[in-house]
Amino acid sequence: MKDTTARPWKPRTRAVHAGTRRSQYGEVSEALFLTQGFVYDTAEQAEARFVEAGEDEFIYARYGNPTVRMFEDRIAALEGTEDAFATASGMAAVNGALTSMLRAGDHVVSAKALFGSCLYILEEVLARFGVEVTFVDGTDLDQWKAAIRPDTRAVFFESISNPVLEVIDIASVSKLAHAAGALVIVDNVFATPVFQDTIGLGADVVVYSATKHIDGQGRVLGGVICGSRAFIRDTVEPYLKHTGGSMSPFNAWVLLKSLETVDLRCRAQAATALTLARGLEGASGLRRVVYPGLPSHPQHALAMRQMELGGTVLALEMQGGRDAAFRMLNALEIITISNNLGDAKSIITHPATTTHQRLSDDQRAVLGISDGVLRLSVGLEDADDLLADLRQALAAAR
């Protein structure tokens, strides 16, 4: 096997070649190892492997698998971290990154603008086990400074919040956290592995729902935690391999193939997203268009410092609330109503009644998720077709 993890390649090359392992057959496309267990030549070899498995030695699929390891090595190389651990879903990655390192009495500071399931882990799961969580307005550095304490173990936030696209100053929050000895854990789904050097900005751990842009074609669930080798192998791996949140080899294989095109797909989607944002801003029936690539975005300057492009997701707020939003959704002809994002197909979501419906009205109001807010994940369709579809749906909604 060639060592393809430490080469000075550019990101697009790493996304195609990093971490490649070939069997004795010399296949071009990565091999899919559909096995739950592995055979040992001798009893002594089995004993030695259970004491300490080598870099390319495996015991059981819940602990590791050659196909899964290829995906881990490739995404770590793309993200710029020493190591990675692949999980069954994005939420398994968020839960694994946090729960593996925390215990009763620990303190966490988190941005309050989060995906509903992330909020559940912080508000319900961690609290149940005696972890104290303080929530702040992620865009307000004074609130971070006031909330981070000497006993804070970790800070957590989405680099771009779901669904109203608040952008957090990663470098400044990381500086505050590191001064207190806290670990910085960033959910980077909306910024993607393509547009932002999250580790370079100061984060210690980056988590992804690989279901989103990494697969990007609506096929499989997956997640990944990227970080230092010590954090991944000494903290995350023992927790996840014993609690069962590991990725299946088939899903890892699909995600490996998806990484080959993630750069091309995300750039095309972001270009279309900017076209749509510009074309819709000021349109009749819309209260606002939120997109980090627009100068009207509250953190536009920060977004353009942190990110190469503005991402693939827009937030649209309809005048007329839920009724107008539903009329628009039902009038769309190309764009699909669903609750995923980062897909090759454009997808639109009404967060207040779906992804964030478990939140109270007051919680949604604080987060800016009104009944008129729609989250639009831009796909790979023709930009002119998508803009025409949105305009005719807006007209129908009026």
Maximum separation of any 2 CA atoms in the chain, in Å: 74
3-state secondary structure of 361: helix
Q: Can you list the residues of the chain whose pLDDT is less than 50?
A: 1-2
> According to the model, what pLDDT value does residue 82 have?
97
- Displacement of CA 44 from its chain's centroid (Å): 42
> According to the model, what pLDDT value does residue 14 have?
93
Identify the CA nearest to 394 among candidates 333, 342, 314, 352: 333
pTM of the predicted model as reported, rounded to 2 decimal places: 0.95
- Tens digit of each residue's pLDDT (9 = 90 or more) over 146-204: 999 999 999 999 999 999 999 999 999 999 999 999 999 999 999 999 999 999 999 99
- Mean residue pLDDT of the chain comes to 95
> According to the model, what pLDDT value does residue 1 have?
45
Tokens at residue 88, please?
């069954």
Query: Contact 348/336 with Cβ under 8 angstroms?
Result: yes
Contacts of 376 (CB under 8 A, 6+ apart): 276, 313, 314, 315, 316, 335, 346, 347, 348, 349, 390
> According to the model, what pLDDT value does residue 358 have?
84
> According to the model, what pLDDT value does residue 230 have?
98
